[in-house]
Amino acid sequence: MGGDFAPRATIAGALYALAELHDEHVVQLVGQTKVIEDQLAALLGGEMSEFADLRRRLFLVEAPDTISMSDKPTAALSSGSNNPMSVGLRLQAEQASDAFVSAGNTGAQMAASALLLGRHAGLARPAIAAIFPTATRPIVVLDSGANVYCSPNELVQFAWLGSVYAEYVLGRERPVVGLLSIGEEKEKGNSTTKAAHALFERAGFNFQGNVEGRDLPAGASPRGPIDVVVCDGFVGNVVLKFYEAVMPMIVALLTADPSFDNATLEAALSPLDSTAYGGAPLLGVRGVSIICHGNSPPRAIKNAIKVAVRAVETRMNEHIEERLMKSASSLGAGQVA
């Protein structure tokens, strides 16, 4: 029920995902079932009639309450709440589902995921891992908004979270980690960044060094390709919002010329289409919680579901647990916790 185009976009995205997944996969649609049934009937009886046989793989779960985009994060945690966030995440906590995907209130999803799924042992805070398109291949940037202030040790944990995600979900072998700063030299940056750099050098992951903002669109720094970029949630969210605005600006400038070939433009910019990556996982919770943009179309929902499936099938959370233990032993448990 969450998102600018819900429930239509969510239902359509679920159908598209099921069409590309194996028959054993099913989707639970959590929300006001009467509204969902009406929208589902309209889609399968009209523009998506070719997907009618997939109806058997959709299960409706009643959650009569709603959470608006403007509600406080605690709205998902109120006692006895039967909103889709709480109901959907409880299904996973009770092992009645394997993953949760939503385009609803981000703060509410973060709060409910942390409470109902719990955090990995020794983890200070979960982080949002956004997928950034680049000129080469997408990179993972975290934290992208969950934590405004971060300690150097928390940034180390984020690096481990991002490395596991890049390795097991994106398929990168020995992912390269960069620390976002204002210069590539380790002496550059604020006190937190400089302290984090010293910890990164002995943490055990594949640390390349500092990267700068200009390296993100290229997917590489002067030292070579990067897979994971680590920063605090304030910086990460500012960069994310800026990034999201660049492609529409380029399109607007180019299409202002009526003689411009729109088809060529669309093909050229297709690698920068964020809907191809679906959503951002909340890493660090003991489960799979995928946060989609509020304006996600069906394609983004479809790809978010497929990302969730891959996270489950590659046992991403088990690997995160292992890496966090490795981090604790390499830096000292007191420092990491």
pLDDT digit of tens for each residue in the chain (337 aa)? Answer: 989 999 999 999 999 999 999 999 999 999 999 999 999 999 999 999 999 999 999 999 999 998 888 888 887 777 567 999 999 999 999 999 999 999 999 999 999 999 999 999 889 899 999 999 898 899 999 999 999 999 999 999 999 999 999 999 999 999 999 999 999 999 999 999 999 999 999 998 999 999 999 999 999 999 999 999 999 999 999 999 998 888 888 888 888 878 777 777 777 777 777 778 788 999 999 999 999 999 899 999 999 999 999 999 999 999 999 888 877 766 554 444 3
The confidence score (pLDDT) of residue 227 equals 97
DSSP 74: G
CA pair distance 42, 45, nearest whole angstrom: 5
Name every residue whose Cβ is closer than 8 Å to that of residue 324 and which is 6 or more positions away in sequence.
Answer: 120, 121, 122, 123, 157, 160, 336
CA pair distance 11, 331, nearest whole angstrom: 45
Only one residue has tokens 């916790």, namely 337
Q: Is the peptide bond before 138 cis (omega within 30 degrees of 0)?
A: no
The confidence score (pLDDT) of residue 334 equals 43
Q: How many CB atoms lie within 10 A of CB 115?
A: 15
The answer to whether 168 touches 314, Cβ cutoff 8 Å, is yes
CA pair distance 329, 92, nearest whole angstrom: 30
The confidence score (pLDDT) of residue 255 equals 82
Q: Is the peptide bond before 84 cis (omega within 30 degrees of 0)?
A: no
SS3 332: coil
The confidence score (pLDDT) of residue 336 equals 41
Category of 3 on φ-ψ map: left (φ > 0), alpha (ψ -120 to 50) or beta: left
CA pair distance 83, 29, nearest whole angstrom: 12
Nearest residue to 131 (alpha-carbon basis) of 236, 60, 287: 236
The confidence score (pLDDT) of residue 253 equals 84
The pTM score is 0.90
SS3 71: coil
Q: How many CB atoms lie within 10 A of CB 297?
A: 18
CA pair distance 117, 105, nearest whole angstrom: 17
Nearest residue to 92 (alpha-carbon basis) of 293, 314, 290: 290
The answer to whether 167 touches 198, Cβ cutoff 8 Å, is no
Q: Which CATH architecture has domain 131-273+313-337?
A: 3-Layer(aba) Sandwich (3.40)
